Amino acid sequence: MPSARTVHILQQDEFDRVLKWLDPDSEQAGLTYEKIRWRLVAILAARGCSCPEELADETIDRVARRVIDIQDSYVGDKATYFLGVLNNVHHEYLKRPMMPRPPEPDDDVEAKERVHICLEKCLNKLSTNSRRMIEQYYAEDKRAKIDLRKRIAAELGIGLSTLRLRALRIREKLQTCIEQCLVSEARP
């Protein structure tokens, strides 16, 4: 955090220890870690923190430092332990002087272009039906949202909520695909 307090830098062995504590299987531990971090960020954002990612990382750091003391004795849902630590971190955050919000990132035309290129690539990876659904679902203007979705749902013989769920799941796949694509594009 950009404050006067000492910033603890998480050591690799501490990080490995927390992963191992979450799950002995390193792959599963990595997934659990990502999930916990995502939840921490979501909660901190909802609480109005302007830098939820930093506070989430700080929470994980604190847990990592304490794992060595609690790993043998802790009983219960390990994820919930993070929530407890988060409450402390957030409480401390509220006591700190308010920092100005970091400036919004500039409109990066090249970045937008990259997203469009990756979107195109990822759309091409979708199945025909998924692609068609996404095209229909997103080919709308704000006023016609309900009408259009009713029409698509009727065509597919499904309810509106099922349609939304299906479209958003495809959208989620697209998001993951695009993020992976952006990472690979950025690699030299």
Partner 1 sequence: MVENRKNSVEFSDETIRRFLLGRLNASEQPVFEQQLFSDSRLEARVRLAELDLADDYAYGRITADERILFAEKFLVSADRRRVVEVSIALRDRFRSVGNTKPTFIAGVRSLLLLNRPAWRYTFALLIFLLLVGSAWVVVKKEGRIKEEIAKRLGRRRPATATVPVETNHPTNNSLPEHQTSPSPMPVHDQTSAPSASAIIALTSADSPNAGNIPSVKIAQHDTVRLQLVLQPYQPGTYRAELLTIDGQSVFSAEAIKAPEGGTTQIDFDVPARLLKTGGYQVRVSRDHAGVKQNAGRYYFRVL
CA within 13 Å, CB half, 123? 12
**Rounded to the nearest whole angstrom, what is the least distance from the CB of residue 145 to partner 1 in the complex?**
6
Q: Which residue has the tokens 């006023």?
A: 143
- Residue 136: how many other CB atoms lie within 10 Å: 17
For residue 64, the SS3 value is: helix
82 binds partner 1 (CB under 8 A): yes
**Rounded to the nearest whole angstrom, what is the least distance from the CB of residue 36 to partner 1 in the complex?**
8
User: Based on the number of CB atoms within 10 Å of its own CB, is 182 exposed (0-12), middle (13-18) or buried (19 or more)?
Assistant: middle
The pair of structure tokens assigned to 6 is 């000492």
135 binds partner 1 (CB under 8 A): yes
Report the distance separating Cα 67 and Cα 17, nearest Å. 7
Is the Cβ of residue 119 or residue 156 nearer to partner 1 in the bound state? Answer: 119
Is the Cβ of residue 11 or residue 30 nearer to partner 1 in the bound state? Answer: 30
Interface map 21-60 toward partner 1 (x if CB under 8 A)? -----------x--x--xx-xxx-xxxxxxxxx-------
What's the gap between Cα 68 and its chain centre? 27
141 binds partner 1 (CB under 8 A): yes
Chain contacts with partner 1 (rule: CB under 8 A): 32, 35, 38-39, 41-43, 45-53, 76-80, 82-83, 105, 111-112, 115-116, 119-120, 123, 134-136, 138-145, 147-148, 164-165, 168-169, 171-172, 174-175, 178-179, 182
